[in-house]
Amino acid sequence: MTEFKPIGLIHTPNTDKSLTPIQSARSDLPGTVEVFSQYTEGLQGLEEFSHIFVFYEFHKSEKDIALLVNPYLDEKKHGLFATRFPCRPNPLGFSVVRLVTRKENILFISGADMLDGSPLLDIKPYIPEFDVFDATRTGWFKNRSVK
Amino acid sequence: MTEFKPIGLIHTPNTDKSLTPIQSARSDLPGTVEVFSQYTEGLQGLEEFSHIFVFYEFHKSEKDIALLVNPYLDEKKHGLFATRFPCRPNPLGFSVVRLVTRKENILFISGADMLDGSPLLDIKPYIPEFDVFDATRTGWFKNRSVK
């Protein structure tokens, strides 16, 4: 067991799960990432990156998890780890969002797909040389029933 | 505080931090991701994805963290959250690796950049439609001193 502690809070327009965009790549909603002020120094230079990974807790997801689930974009069941479904053994979510600007400990973002109030766990820069892969096979996603 | 529990163990040739590849995109080392057998059903269909996100604990990183750090690829200091440095308030690491094959609860991967014995926290499929972004600005990385 490892204790993960919130290092901030994410504020978004998404207060209703059913109206929340599926994936940041499909969202142009604005949001703010409030990093607790004791960590402000750790944000130095982050504003020079156009995109960032934001890691957070799926704080509203069910604690009872199923290992076969219906992802939002398909009507068939798939192994939980072959999906991005939010009810997971460890409720870890991440989104790649556009970093519009930083004002001290507040990050203004675009592409918010997380629920309002999500506890922030980490931030890392998005670097295409590290993060873009030529994934040739995407399983059920390629043949999904919902576009 | 949220307790994150290991759901498996990652086995790699990387037993020495100083010899461990920097980023999976720069590694062609093999490894295995052992998912604890009670979660095997959750892996159904994962083998149809060529690339996966593997999330794990940086279990050997220092607990005393600094907010300004020297990333491995630069000689200047930068805000911790503008780097992928492993000593972080929450010791959360992730790698995108190629999934070579799956045998029951064991995933055979290529691109191992994690330390041997890293506790596994989560697995998600890599989906270019969700995960590839046109990041136009990459801050210090663009002007880094180590290629």
Size of interface A-B (CB pairs under 8 A): 212
**Shortest CA distance to B17 belongs to which of B48, B49, B74, B61?**
B61
Task: Give the rounded percent of residues in chain B with a pLDDT score beyond 90.
Answer: 95
- Report the pLDDT value the prediction gives residue A2, as an integer from 0 to 100: 86
Do A124 and B25 count as a contact with CB atoms less than 8 A apart?
A: no
Separation in Å, CA of A91 to nearest CA in chain B: 8
**Shortest CA distance to A69 belongs to which of B20, B28, B44, B34?**
B44
Task: Give the rounded percent of residues in chain B with a pLDDT score beyond 70.
Answer: 100
CATH superfamily of B8-142: YaeB-like (2.40.30.70)
Question: Which residue of chain A comes nearest to B143, CA vs CA?
Answer: A48
The secondary structure element, H or E, covering residue A139 is helix A139-142
User: Which chain A residues are Cβ-neighbours of B98 within 8 angstroms?
Assistant: 133
**Shortest CA distance to B120 belongs to which of B1, B5, B3?**
B5
pLDDT surpassing 90 at residue A54: yes
The arithmetic mean of pLDDT across residues B20-30, rounded, is 95
| Distance between CA atoms of residues B13 and A135, nearest Å | 24
Look up residue B138 and give its DSSP letter. Answer: B
Question: Which residue of chain B comes nearest to A122, CA vs CA?
Answer: B90
| Three-point CA angle B127, B3, B102, nearest 5° | 40
Query: Do B111 and B24 meet the contact criterion of CB atoms below 8 Å apart?
Result: yes
Do B138 and A128 count as a contact with CB atoms less than 8 A apart?
A: yes
Query: Do A24 and B115 meet the contact criterion of CB atoms below 8 Å apart?
Result: no
Compute how many other C-beta atoms are within 10 angstroms of the C-beta atom of residue A31. Answer: 25
pTM above 0.90, yes or no: yes
Name the H helices within chain B. Answer: 128-131, 139-142
Question: Which residue of chain B comes nearest to A54, CA vs CA?
Answer: B81
Q: How far is CA A69 from CA A58, B30, B51, B62, B143, in A?
A: 16, 30, 20, 37, 44
| Distance between CA atoms of residues A18 and B81, nearest Å | 31
User: Which chain B residues are Cβ-neighbours of A96 within 8 angstroms?
Assistant: 131, 133
**pLDDT band at B67; cut points 50, 70, 90:** very high
Instruction: Return the SS3 of A80.
Output: helix
Mean pLDDT of chain A: 96
The secondary structure element, H or E, covering residue A140 is helix A139-142
Location of structure tokens 């163990």:
B9
CATH C-level class of A9-130+137-142:
mainly beta
**Shortest CA distance to A141 belongs to which of B51, B134, B112?**
B51
**pLDDT band at B68; cut points 50, 70, 90:** very high
In this structure, chain A runs to a length of: 147
- Report the pLDDT value the prediction gives residue B147, as an integer from 0 to 100: 82
pLDDT surpassing 90 at residue B28: yes
The arithmetic mean of pLDDT across residues A109-123, rounded, is 98
Q: How far is CA A36 from CA A8, A120, B93, in A?
A: 5, 9, 21
Tokens representing B125?
Answer: 């499929």
- Report the pLDDT value the prediction gives residue A131, as an integer from 0 to 100: 98
